[in-house]
Amino acid sequence: MNSDPLSHLPHGISFRFVDRVLEMTPGKRVVALKNVTVGDPYLQGHFPGNPLMPGVLLVEAMAQTAGLLLSEGSSAVLAQIRDARFRRPVVPGDQVRIEAERLGGLGGLHRFAVKASVDDAPVAEVEIVLAETSQATTNVF
């Protein structure tokens, strides 16, 4: 794998929600960080005077973290979100620790358990299924 695991993500910088990889066991487990700052553009409208990281973007950060466990050179699309639970809001100044563990797969489908926490307190958990594809625009359904 490339020395910078984040270079494995197919997302452009403006839509990358993983800032740093702390631990990696290729194909099995990864721990990453997302720093939420007051300057993040999506916080300007969500919500004025009470900025919160949108749950959908937190799930995207969790999916991107899981995607780091796919083989180098592959890309995937989000195929399924199961049992998403949100425990508390994520706000500017929070450093979100995201832990993804590969549960298994079949063919081009890969299943992951992903947890997010801030200061050791859980903020979200979800089971994510990613579908490997040769192009991000491929219709896999």
46 assigned to active site: yes
Indicate the pairing of strand 20-25 with strand 95-106: unpaired
Residues 6 or more apart whose CB falls under 8 angstroms from that of 132 comprise 70, 74, 75, 76, 108, 109, 110
Amino acid letter, residue 89: P
Question: Which residue out of 8, 11, 46, 110 is catalytically annotated?
Answer: 46
- Measure the CA–CA gap between 51 and 38, rounded to whole angstroms: 8
- Residues designated as active site: 46
